[in-house]
Every structure is written in structure tokens, then in C-alpha cells.
Amino acid sequence: MGHGLRPRFWEHVPLAAMTAEEWEAVCDGCAKCCLVKLEDADDGTVYFTDVHCFLLDPASCRCGDYAERSRRVPDCVVLTPERMDAVDWLPTSCSYRRLADGRGLAAWHPLVAGATAAVHRAGLSVRGRSVAETAVAATDLEDRVVDWPVTETGDDPAG
């Protein structure tokens, strides 16, 4: 755990009041937000594909250039507490969304489980389930739409 993290901070600190280190620690490392998404121009529905951003390291599910991601990928959405309402497309398994919805962190979250690989062991990350956008023609994206990023809730089986 990082030096500036308060014990179990996510249970009593609202997203908007978290320190930068706490905010970053809430990320569970699933990388679903790094999947290429398509938006229906008529109704605004967002569809996920199984294609990931070229910056994503598919083994670690971490950005390969996190500090410069928004410069290198202009469509990259940098999550902040202020933007949570605007990113209603985040999957329900996303830990930021879980906290915003009042559901708390799941047992598989690295802060709860004590291991960064817990999200992968739970089968809730994109590891082994996506391909790099450099390997797919843009015209083929509609054929790569998947529902698993949004149908997986990440809720614990017991409740």
C-alpha cells in the first residue's frame, strides 16, 4: 500500500475528497476503460469492443505511457471525480463506478485482496480477452462489439 493511503479510505472518503494517490489506488486495473468504444450517433449508446488502445500493455492491463496518454490519444478519457457523471458508460464492475454507486469495493479489488493480480484471477480484466487496435482495421470495429465489459458486475457471489 502507498505511503499516503489512509486505512480503508474508500469506506469513508467520498471520491471527490480523495487524495491523488487514493484516487489512483481505486483503479482496479481491469483496463475495460482502455477498450475501444463505439457510440451510436442516434441515441448515444456506447458499445464496447474487444479491441484495446495501442498504449495498453495487455499483460499488466496498465497504460504504457500513463503520464502522456491524453496527449498521445486525444480520445482518452482521463477519469477525475468531476467527470464521473459524464462517464456513465463505465462498466458496473469498475471500482470508480462501484464507489460512486455506493456499492463499495469488491473482494477481488487489489486494495481489499492485497494483490494486484486479484482482478485478473477474478476474470474481470481484459487480460487475454482483447487485441491491440494496431491489429484491427477501423472498418472492422463494428464486428468486434462485445457485451462482457458491461454485463460483468463484479459483485461477490454471496451478495
- What lies within 8 Å, CB to CB, of 13 at 6+ separation is 6, 22
Number of domains in the chain: 1
> pTM for the full model?
0.91
- Give the Cα separation of 111 and 89 in Å (integer): 24
For the chain, the C-alpha Rg in angstroms (whole number) is: 16
Q: Is residue 115 part of a domain?
A: yes
Q: Binning pLDDT at 50, 70 and 90, where does residue 156 land?
A: low
Query: Is 4 among the domain residues?
Result: no
44 located within any domain: yes
**Per the domain annotation, does 48 fall within a domain?**
yes
Asked whether residue 10 is assigned to any structural domain, the reply reads no
Answer whether residue 158 is part of any domain.
no
**HSE of 142 in the Cβ direction (CA atoms, 13 Å)?**
3
pLDDT at 83 over 80: yes
